[in-house]
């Protein structure tokens, strides 16, 4: 028998960014507002069950794939059964994920459009650098599948 060959295939990793947004809008109003501001069409997606701190949850999420640049915009409400999805970011109402991120200009443009709309009390790109390992794991459990 000949020598076995091992082939390593690199995993495809896409750069994604998450924005934290505070708003008084409910999820349907929020999605409608984003649809108008960004000329997109967010649609409800099938919930996926994930485990956070030993509790199984199915966060609702809405997404849209731009047919031109293939960037996916995904909205996740920071509430499941009346409790914050991410308790260490409990004052955040919604998270918006952009994936894949093509450029920093794309991120700046997105944040500027939302901030200048006057519809939201807070719009900020999330920096995960200061997260604890547990916070990072929880964050990844939510956003790697949506």
Q: What is the pTM of this model?
A: 0.84
* Closest-CA residue to 99 (of 64, 141, 129): 64
- R_g of the chain computed on alpha carbons: 17
How many whole angstroms separate alpha carbon 58 and alpha carbon 78?
12
User: In order of start, what are the domains of the chain with their CATH numbers?
Assistant: 17-143 (3.30.310)
How many whole angstroms separate alpha carbon 123 and alpha carbon 102?
20
Q: What is the pLDDT of residues 92-124, one digit of tens each?
A: 999 999 999 878 899 999 999 999 999 999 999
Place of tokens 């604890």: 132
Buried b (16+ CB within 10 A) or exposed e, 38-69: bebebeeeeeeebebeeeebebebbbbeeeee
Q: What is the pLDDT of residues 121-136, one digit of tens each?
A: 999 999 877 788 888 8
Confidence class for position 72, pLDDT limits 50, 70, 90: very high
């Amino acid at each position: 028998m000949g020598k076995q060959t091992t082939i390593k295939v690199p995993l495809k990793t896409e750069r994604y960014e998450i924005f934290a947004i505070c708003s008084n809008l409910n999820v349907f109003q929020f999605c409608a507002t984003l649809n108008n501001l960004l000329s997109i069409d967010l649609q409800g997606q099938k919930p996926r069950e994930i485990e956070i701190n030993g509790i199984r949850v199915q966060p609702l999420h809405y997404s849209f794939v731009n047919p031109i640049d293939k960037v996916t915009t995904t909205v996740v409400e920071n509430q499941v059964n009346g409790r914050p999805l991410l308790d260490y970011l409990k004052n955040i109402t919604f998270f918006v994920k952009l994936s894949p991120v093509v450029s920093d200009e794309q991120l700046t443009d997105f944040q500027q459009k939302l901030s200048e709309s006057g519809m939201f009390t807070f719009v900020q790109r999330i920096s995960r650098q200061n997260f604890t390992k547990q916070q990072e794991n929880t964050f990844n459990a939510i956003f790697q599948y949506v």
